[in-house]
Chains A and B, each alone.
Chain A
Amino acid sequence: MTDIDCETPPFGVYVHVPFCTHRCDYCAFATWTDRSHLIADYMSCCRDQARALARGMAPVTSVFFGGGTPNLAAPSMLAEVIAELPLAPGAEVTVECNPDLVTGAAMRAYRDMGVNRISLGVQSMAPHVLAALGRQHDPAMVEASVYAVRSSGIDSLNLDLIFGSPAESVADCEHSLRAALALEPDHMSVYGLTPEPGTPVGDDPARHPDDDDMADKYVLIDEMLERAGFEMYEISNWARPGAQCRHNLLYWQQGSYAGIGCAAHSHRDGRRFWSVRTPERYVSAIRAGRTVEAGSESLDDDERRLEALQLALRTSAGVPAGAVPDDVADLVMPAGDGRLRLTVRGRLLANEVAIRLQHPPQTPA
């Protein structure tokens, strides 16, 4: 990963690409499988929005194309958006990719337009677990995708895994981890399966994960990753030293970011706002020159400070010791600098700690 000039305050841009060829059984994101005819219009609107936002925009230290399936759009469409943004030197530019659709040509095109990080939606390396999640790729496609990424010269690679499906044994989980590590990523995001209401997984209790099984798997995953030289830096994220995702850190450090596209969220100085949910409404608003903002919230100072604690608690940086009350003292450990971070057991119970956090007593500057 290239270093960024330390003087540049971090500022991120998120671009939402809400199209998929297929909806996974656990997915509750703003994404559509029947609107590929909209992709070109939609991406040109993203370009227009980027152009409008770029006026007066701070140097951009990270860009993240998420979805949906960003690699369903032609690389040139993403390139047009990137071209509008005032990138800081060494900016991190990530594209989330579905292994079904990764090609060597696309990866080379990404490299040429400045993409330096790929995040692959692997989810599992066990075929029957992939089937149980409603995924359409198989482990061989993952291997081919990683080969395509490597061949293009893009050297930073994240693999996303999902654990906790009842179809996944502990051995399956271990196998997925081992197979993923064999592909030598420098970053791993490993998420617990969350049954979201309204999804096929969420609506079928038989497909819900079991809490104890998930806890067992999480402990195993953490051990395996640590042993492989990864460091946990957020509840669901591990990286080799220096390979932390700067864009994601921005979220947990309450940094500022601009969202482009439908259903994208933005944050600036305690004001959080988000755009209209569907691509149709987004396109028509951009075309008509209307705002795409659909809602917002502004936090007062107390709320902001509490939110900062709640976000920091998820990371290895932890929170000031005074913020953690005694009744959850056994879920945290020292993080240096008078701060406390969650233990492995504590990470599994992060909400229980988060709702108990209190503002530490004000210390004179």
Chain B
Amino acid sequence: MPNVPPEPDIRQDSGASGSSGPGSIRNFSIIAHIDHGKSTLSDRILELTGAVEERSMRAQYLDSMDLERERGITIKAQNVRVGWRGHTLHLIDTPGHVDFGYEVSRSLAACEGVVLLVDAAQGIEAQTLANCYLALEADLAIVPVLNKIDLPAADPDLYASEIERVLGIDAGEVLAISAKTGDGVETLLDTIVERIPPPSGDPNDPLQALIFDSHFDQYRGVISSVRVMNGRLGTGDRLRFMHAGGVHLAEEVGVRVPAATPADELGPGEVGYLIAGIKDVAEARSGETVTSAAAPADAPLDGYDDPKPMVFCGLYPVDGDEYPELRDALAKLRLNDASVSFEPETSGALGFGFRCGFLGLLHMEIVRERLEREFDLSLIATAPSVAYRVRTSEGDDVEVDNPSDLPPAAQVDEISEPMLNVSILTPSAYTGAVMDLCQSRRGSMSQMDYLSPERVELRYELPLAEVVTDFFDQLKSRTQGYASLDYDHAGYRAERLVRVDILLNSEPVDAFSAICHRDGAYPYGKAITAKLAELIPRQLFDVPIQAAIGGRIIARETVKAKRKDVLSKCYGGDITRKRKLLERQKEGKKRMKAIGRVEVPNEAFVSALRLDQ
């Protein structure tokens, strides 16, 4: 089955019928932590407003990408228009992960208010809080809601007072609902109409429309989600995309109810979609301002930013022959996700591949998984790295996101690494465990606040490189899954960083080079040499595996020479079997990569790099 939801029935009162006056419009997002029930609430709203008939409901209607369903998260923003008691509501779905913070901020820019949805048995989580602060900064109205009040463990009073303490919202204003049973959802819809202000905007001003999401459709090209701020956006208009600079014809403008339904035009405050014959999402990025080519606005809307990759890794086809397929797949994927960057790179160990940049670790994983799944590729990913700033002894500043590109130590004056301000919310019982973790990752604490006697917010400054390894997994395991994490970028800091090289039989293996803190160099060297010693089969000679900083060896293992093969007997009935075994063994050699004289199975690279994360 394709990823397309079934065609829903459209009802008369669903708000589908073209423009309506701004006064009756309410634009809002739901801010929630994973599993706090956002998708269930969205489904319930679609159902209650009659936008989708019960019989065509599919659980989690808005999360249509397979990966999103599997992971229970929203990657691409969606929006839907519903009617409620004479008003038009636009529900704008936001991505739910810290990697996509910029996308969240653009989605919020399309709203006048947010529903803060909190699990009544768990309380507010770090990312929810961070997104809520974003909403407060943007002056949005906040409708706080405790969900899952049908759960036995629900404690609405406790978490309502937590919301009051943390966000300064009166506990008495907090609604209590169960999205699952539908209890309280009608009241919520009424409250949205009541507390979230209608959009302002002048239909006679020059057009300013905000793009807050774009995706590529193979039949229609780029389909963008737009929010009109001023002026009118009509089908057939010639449009200027103010940041990208292109001029395109609006082939189709419409609203999602939730099926895409063409409209003549969208007026101020309205949210819908725009198709303008664009072939590359980079031409219509989130944050772009669309205006009229004939009568353009003076200035674009505030808040546009170029997505900046934060995490990097090399991607290589396991089978070197698949390099062209990987190149095409990346190019196609980028049509849909402008935040992925890639450029060709060659590794002595892995052959031809690409250096790729991602918004964060989750983004990296998702891209890799999509490449493997949607393009049927089998990939090796090198250990994730961050972009270091290197001041050379000649006084130049260079950015290095691949350890192999680091100039020799003698030519390096100083290396700086990207830092994060990290906020961690945890039950207070785990404070010590979280502090231990942060300390072991070179963190320095900047603040500690009790949200309630049971819950603490810890703020740390941490190197990004320490967070992109297994920090999140460690945090979860040390707090039995209770802690949550959010972060902001906090510039660069000079550190005692070195490159650790791994040598196999005295030949450096670029795929395993890593930049790390001097104090972490020995453990890294020790761990990876030990791992490789396990994974590399014995050869006909001793193979030293060494970790080195510059010319200095800091760790060494040896794969002892192989002394014995299979000594099986070889009589009449064994000859055929033996010959086939030798043929297989010969084939197996072809699947090895030769590093100097050493034959290394591809699987060894895959496992060593995977275990490393």
- Expressed in whole angstroms, the Cα–Cα distance for A310 and B565 within the complex equals 14
B 243-260 binary contact with A (CB < 8 Å = 1; else 0): 000000000000000000
Residue of B nearest to A215 (CB): B563
Looking at the complex, which one of A236, A264, A349 makes contact with B569 (CB distance below 8 Å)?
A236
Say yes or no for B578: interface residue by CB 8 A criterion.
Answer: yes
Instruction: Please give the distance in Å from A195's CB to the nearest CB on chain B.
Output: 10
Enumerate chain A residues within 8 angstroms of B566, measured Cβ to Cβ. 194, 351
- The answer to whether A191 and B567 have CB atoms under 8 Å apart is yes
Looking at the complex, which one of B565, B571, B586, B589 makes contact with A248 (CB distance below 8 Å)?
B571
B 499-525 binary contact with A (CB < 8 Å = 1; else 0): 000000000000000000000000000
Instruction: Please give the distance in Å from A361's CB to the nearest CB on chain B.
Output: 20
Instruction: Please give the distance in Å from B534's CB to the nearest CB on chain A.
Output: 15
- The answer to whether B540 and A349 have CB atoms under 8 Å apart is yes
Residue of B nearest to A330 (CB): B540
Instruction: Please give the distance in Å from B559's CB to the nearest CB on chain A.
Output: 13
- The answer to whether B576 and A265 have CB atoms under 8 Å apart is yes
Instruction: Please give the distance in Å from B221's CB to the nearest CB on chain A.
Output: 53
- The answer to whether A194 and B579 have CB atoms under 8 Å apart is no
- The answer to whether B576 and A236 have CB atoms under 8 Å apart is no
Say yes or no for B573: interface residue by CB 8 A criterion.
Answer: yes
Which residues of chain B from 541 to 574 have a CB within 8 Å of any chain A CB? 560, 562-573
- Expressed in whole angstroms, the Cα–Cα distance for A66 and B569 within the complex equals 14
Looking at the complex, which one of A189, A259, A352, A354 makes contact with B572 (CB distance below 8 Å)?
A259
Say yes or no for B585: interface residue by CB 8 A criterion.
Answer: yes
Say yes or no for A238: interface residue by CB 8 A criterion.
Answer: no
> How many interface contacts (CB-CB < 8 Å) are there between A and B?
91
Residue of B nearest to A297 (CB): B576
Say yes or no for A212: interface residue by CB 8 A criterion.
Answer: yes
- The answer to whether B564 and A215 have CB atoms under 8 Å apart is yes
- The answer to whether A311 and B563 have CB atoms under 8 Å apart is no
- Expressed in whole angstroms, the Cα–Cα distance for A261 and B350 within the complex equals 52
Say yes or no for B582: interface residue by CB 8 A criterion.
Answer: yes
Say yes or no for B575: interface residue by CB 8 A criterion.
Answer: yes
Looking at the complex, which one of B562, B573, B586, B589 makes contact with A263 (CB distance below 8 Å)?
B573
- The answer to whether A352 and B540 have CB atoms under 8 Å apart is yes
Say yes or no for A257: interface residue by CB 8 A criterion.
Answer: yes
Residue of A nearest to B585 (CB): A355
Say yes or no for A274: interface residue by CB 8 A criterion.
Answer: yes
User: What does DSSP make chain B's interface, helix, strand, loop or mixed?
Assistant: loop
Say yes or no for A112: interface residue by CB 8 A criterion.
Answer: no
Enumerate chain B residues within 8 angstroms of A263, measured Cβ to Cβ. 573
Enumerate chain B residues within 8 angstroms of A109, measured Cβ to Cβ. none
- Expressed in whole angstroms, the Cα–Cα distance for A349 and B581 within the complex equals 14
- Expressed in whole angstroms, the Cα–Cα distance for A218 and B582 within the complex equals 22
- The answer to whether A211 and B575 have CB atoms under 8 Å apart is no
Enumerate chain A residues within 8 angstroms of B582, measured Cβ to Cβ. 310, 351, 354-355
- The answer to whether B572 and A214 have CB atoms under 8 Å apart is no
Enumerate chain A residues within 8 angstroms of B540, measured Cβ to Cβ. 327-328, 331, 349, 352
Say yes or no for A207: interface residue by CB 8 A criterion.
Answer: no
Known: A307-B579, A310-B579. A267 touches B564 (CB 8 A): no
Enumerate chain A residues within 8 angstroms of B576, measured Cβ to Cβ. 265, 272, 274, 297
- Expressed in whole angstroms, the Cα–Cα distance for A272 and B560 within the complex equals 39
Chain B: residues with Cβ within 8 Å of the partner, total of 24
- Expressed in whole angstroms, the Cα–Cα distance for A266 and B576 within the complex equals 11
- The answer to whether B564 and A211 have CB atoms under 8 Å apart is yes
A 327-365 binary contact with B (CB < 8 Å = 1; else 0): 110010000000000000100111110110000000000
- Expressed in whole angstroms, the Cα–Cα distance for A328 and B562 within the complex equals 13
- The answer to whether A355 and B563 have CB atoms under 8 Å apart is no
Enumerate chain B residues within 8 angstroms of A266, measured Cβ to Cβ. 572
Enumerate chain A residues within 8 angstroms of B568, measured Cβ to Cβ. 191-192, 194
- The answer to whether B567 and A252 have CB atoms under 8 Å apart is no
Residue of B nearest to A16 (CB): B573
- The answer to whether B575 and A251 have CB atoms under 8 Å apart is yes
Enumerate chain B residues within 8 angstroms of A267, measured Cβ to Cβ. 572, 575
Say yes or no for A115: interface residue by CB 8 A criterion.
Answer: no
Looking at the complex, which one of B571, B575, B586 makes contact with A307 (CB distance below 8 Å)?
B575
From B567, B568, B582, B585, residue with most partner A Cβ within 10 Å: B567
Enumerate chain B residues within 8 angstroms of A110, measured Cβ to Cβ. none
Known: A251-B570, A310-B579, A328-B540. A214 touches B589 (CB 8 A): no
Residue of A nearest to B538 (CB): A211
- Expressed in whole angstroms, the Cα–Cα distance for A147 and B27 within the complex equals 102
Enumerate chain B residues within 8 angstroms of A257, measured Cβ to Cβ. 572
Enumerate chain A residues within 8 angstroms of B585, measured Cβ to Cβ. 351, 355
Enumerate chain B residues within 8 angstroms of A349, measured Cβ to Cβ. 540, 562-565
- The answer to whether B571 and A251 have CB atoms under 8 Å apart is yes
Say yes or no for A235: interface residue by CB 8 A criterion.
Answer: yes
- The answer to whether A212 and B564 have CB atoms under 8 Å apart is yes
Instruction: Please give the distance in Å from B533's CB to the nearest CB on chain A.
Output: 15
Say yes or no for A314: interface residue by CB 8 A criterion.
Answer: yes
Say yes or no for A14: interface residue by CB 8 A criterion.
Answer: yes
Enumerate chain B residues within 8 angstroms of A314, measured Cβ to Cβ. 570
- The answer to whether B564 and A214 have CB atoms under 8 Å apart is yes
Enumerate chain A residues within 8 angstroms of B562, measured Cβ to Cβ. 211, 349, 352
- Expressed in whole angstroms, the Cα–Cα distance for A173 and B439 within the complex equals 56
- The answer to whether A194 and B567 have CB atoms under 8 Å apart is yes
Looking at the complex, which one of B569, B572, B579, B589 makes contact with A14 (CB distance below 8 Å)?
B572
- Expressed in whole angstroms, the Cα–Cα distance for A311 and B540 within the complex equals 21
- The answer to whether A310 and B567 have CB atoms under 8 Å apart is no
Enumerate chain B residues within 8 angstroms of A297, measured Cβ to Cβ. 576
Known: A307-B579, A310-B579. A348 touches B572 (CB 8 A): no
A–B Cβ pairs within 8 angstroms, 15 of them: A14-B572, A191-B567, A192-B567, A194-B568, A212-B563, A214-B564, A235-B567, A251-B575, A264-B573, A265-B576, A297-B576, A348-B564, A349-B562, A351-B565, A351-B566
Which A positions have Cβ atoms within 8 angstroms of B?
A: 14, 66, 189, 191-192, 194, 211-212, 214-215, 218, 234-236, 248, 251-252, 257, 259, 263-267, 272, 274, 297, 303, 307, 310-311, 314, 327-328, 331, 345, 348-352, 354-355
In the A-B complex, the 5 residue pairs with the closest CB atoms: A192-B567, A215-B563, A351-B565, A265-B573, A348-B564
With A211-B562, A314-B570, A349-B565 known, 8 other A-B pairs at CB within 8 A are A192-B564, A211-B563, A235-B570, A263-B573, A310-B578, A327-B540, A349-B562, A352-B565
